[in-house]
Amino acid sequence: MKVIRPIALKDYDALHDIAVESGIGFTSLPVNEPLLRRKIDQSERAFKEVVDEPSNQSYLFVMEDTETGDVVGTSGIAATVGLEDSFYHYHCGKVVHASRELKIHNTVDILTLCNDYTGVSEICTLFLKEKARKGSNGRLLSKFRFLFMLEHQSRFSETVIAEMRGVSDENGTSPFWQWLEEHFFSMDFPTADYLTGIGDKVFIAELMPKYPIYVSLLSKAAQAVIGQVHEKTRPALQLLQQEGFICRGYVDIFDGGPTVEANIQHIRTAQASRKLPIKIDQQKAADATLCFVINTKVKDFRAITTEVYVDQENDVAYISPESAAALLVSENDLIRFAPTKLI
């Protein structure tokens, strides 16, 4: 069984391995021991805090294979972004150059540097090891966060975003960044990506062009990847789009990848979820609906994929003893769950 739980200090080696495997362009997990250990420490503190409103908490989870004890993936939520340091995007907009007298009307695409997403929550740091990419593991690693956020709404903003990895090749070369590098930064993409990942963002404010960039001035290769995702990120983007996430024209300042957003209340898995007390019964759970299930705890949070049978008349949910043990719940405790397949 695959169980999702809060990360712990003992998971450092596993997190480091995931950071190495994720490769260049996965900004939120740079291969940097002090930073990774700091992420674990920040997450442990966030899970212990009593929170009335979202602040700088950062929640990091791992997926553990209970049969082997191996950590096979990670997934995170930032309660807010941009409160401690600036959170940059380009917004894709338009300007019109027109002359009524000359009967000329030209619409031009522009990119404007902005901090529009300051204060929103972000789902981030999602990576599943190659060997675990089967069944519903990938969807669980992504979707359980919507249940967690809905269950603990006071900890998060109503708006949730996800930054999607943009186009780059196996050497970490980004067509979008190449143009910026040539004209403004004199720094390759892996270096810029790494500095951002470790929190060193001062260079962005110092070197990034302050005025809107005319898209037509970019190279053809750079123009072609604005708003596009890395081939390995397409499944993740499709999953979020199915949940109701949309792109409102915001793209990453380094690789041009899209940022998508949704209101937590409007995310399909959150909308479809129910919260019920449980009964533990192996037989009834065997003929039930496959669901993503979480307990309602914070510090001792757990999430799994398992069968849930709902007794509509008595408003209770039946799960198996194995599932109850994995979720750290007992008879009459509450769970929140949503079907793995939404109609």
- Alpha helices by DSSP H, listed for 57-163, are 137-151
**Among the listed residues 135, 152, 167, the one whose alpha carbon sits nearest the alpha carbon of residue 258:** 167
Q: What is the gyration radius of the CA atoms in the chain, in angstroms?
A: 22
Per-position b or e across 131-165, b if 16+ CB within 10 A of its CB: ebeeeebbbbbbbbbbbbbbbbeebbbeebbbbbb
> Could you give the CA distance from residue 180 to residue 186 in angstroms, rounded to a whole number?
8
Q: Which residues contact 184 (CB under 8 A, 6 or more apart)?
A: 207, 208, 209
Q: Residue 89 corresponds to which amino acid?
A: H
Marked catalytic residue, from 89, 97, 105, 230: 230
Six-digit token string for 202:
């001062």
Catalytic, 230? Answer: yes
Active site (catalytic) residues: 230
